[in-house]
Structure 1
Amino acid sequence: MSTKSEQRKAALREKLVHSAKVRIESDGMAALRARDLAKDAGCAVGAIYNAFEDLNDIVMAVNGLTFQALGETVRSSFDGIEPPVDRLILMSHAYLGFAVDHTNLWRALFDLDMSEDGPVPAWYRAALADLFSNISRPLSELFPEMTEQELSLMTRAMFSSVHGIVLLGLQNRISGVPPEQIEQMIAAVLRRIGNE
């Protein structure tokens, strides 16, 4: 059984993550400030650093919630009986919809400075792997001859391709797909990959 101190710490962590999520969703990750979070949570600024190592740890906790929501959105976009390319297209469109509806939370997933060989918690890697598993299943049907390592690389490449189209399009970059044509272009790219 946890002590009252542990319970208070857990409650503070929950308040801080909730406050950070609200602030990130409203103003973006760059606007996140310890002083604002302390005010929201009703604690001293120093108390934040008793609950979390730093603001990046709080953003990672928010990102964990965002990964869960994104994964649920992607999984609910198809019923599993569609052909693999159609599932990939439906998932990609759901990904785009999530990015449009939750732009700042979605951006925080990628704006946090993390590298493959850096210190990333196991739960964070597991959340990313869960998201990628949605992509790898239809890819394994399209490319049954691929080894597990090749499939993992193809999954990352597929995700990176769709993410790039979505990111550049939503930012309305000169090199991006016009926002009103993102869905159409993602479908065209995915159909070509699936040789349709």
Structure 2
Amino acid sequence: MSTTDRRANLRDTLIDLARETIAGEGTSALKARTLAAEAGCSVGSIYNVFGDMHELVMAVNGETFRDLGQAVTDAIVASAATTPTDRMITMAEAYLAYAAAHPQLWRALFDVPITETSNLPSWYLEALDELLSIIDAPVSDLFPDLPPDAVRLRTRALFSSIHGIVLLGIEERISSVGKDNISDMIRFIVESVGK
């Protein structure tokens, strides 16, 4: 096996192990020494594959974005939703279901500090863009005269609103968004967009 193949295999192993750890205990549980022992490599080998632990978490998040996008897409395909509003409600409920089923992986998407000056890898931005593009479609159907950048702005606003409701509901924050009310609140926001 070539050095390139060994490095690629180690990369995949580290992502799988990190994903397991994050899924069970969150990003704060991810430690290089423990990860190295589980992977059967040295701590230095981790840093030969990933520049730092932040980069490893980003790799896990890239997979989570893809999984989340697939869950949303599958929900649309499986539903009988026909109107743009119905499709957005289906998407939002799939987002909620994913967050509820994988709370630590979902939280990790937002635990990584990202700013406008962050040097994000292109594959990460592409994974995020793919997720937002799924939402763009029904938003475009609702607002057919808007240019793509205006559609994306509305998509981001809608995503931010739904994310806030899901976050506050799942984490049972002080806003008293009860878990039983999350779906109703999502429906209210999405239906308001469609009016």
- The alignment's TM-score, normalised by the length of structure 2, stands at 0.95
Task: Indicate the residue corresponding to 2:48 in structure 1.
Answer: 50
C-alpha distance in structure 2 between counterparts of 1:116 and 1:94, whole Å: 28
1:50-75 CA-partner distances (Å, limit 9, x unpaired): 11100011111111111111000000
Task: Indicate the residue corresponding to 2:156 in structure 1.
Answer: 156
Tell me, yes or no, if structure 1 residue 186 matches structure 2 residue 183: no
Greater shift in the superposed pair: 161-170 or 113-122: 113-122
Tell me, yes or no, if structure 1 residue 106 matches structure 2 residue 106: yes
Q: Give the letter aligned to residue 87 of structure 1.
A: R
Shift of 1:188: 1.4
C-alpha distance in structure 2 between counterparts of 1:22 and 1:149, whole Å: 37
Gap regions ≥5 residues in structure 2: none
Q: Give the letter aligned to residue 133 of structure 2.
A: S
Aligned mate of 1:33, from 27, 31, 48: 31
Q: Runs of 4 or more off by more than 2 Å in structure 1?
A: none
Instruction: Please state whether the residue corresponding to 2:11 is helix, strand or coil.
Output: helix
Instruction: Please state whether the residue corresponding to 1:177 is helix, strand or coil.
Output: coil
Tell me, yes or no, if structure 1 residue 118 matches structure 2 residue 118: yes
Gap regions ≥5 residues in structure 1: none
Q: Give the letter aligned to residue 123 of structure 1.
A: W
Contact 2:81 2:90 in 1 (8 A): no
CA RMSD of aligned residues (A): 1.2
Greater shift in the superposed pair: 171-180 or 123-132: 171-180
Task: Indicate the residue corresponding to 1:167 in structure 2.
Answer: 167
Q: Identity over aligned residues, as a percent?
A: 46
Task: Indicate the residue corresponding to 1:68 in structure 2.
Answer: 66
Q: Give the letter aligned to residue 111 of structure 1.
A: D
Task: Indicate the residue corresponding to 2:21 in structure 1.
Answer: 23
1:52-99 CA-partner distances (Å, limit 9, x unpaired): 100011111111111111000000111386100000000000000000
Instruction: Please state whether the residue corresponding to 2:75 is helix, strand or coil.
Output: coil
- Figure out how many residues of one structure are paired with residues of the other and give that number: 193
Residues 176/161 of structure 1: CA separation in 2 closer, same or farther (3 Å cut): farther
C-alpha distance in structure 2 between counterparts of 1:135 and 1:117, whole Å: 25
- The alignment's TM-score, normalised by the length of structure 1, stands at 0.95
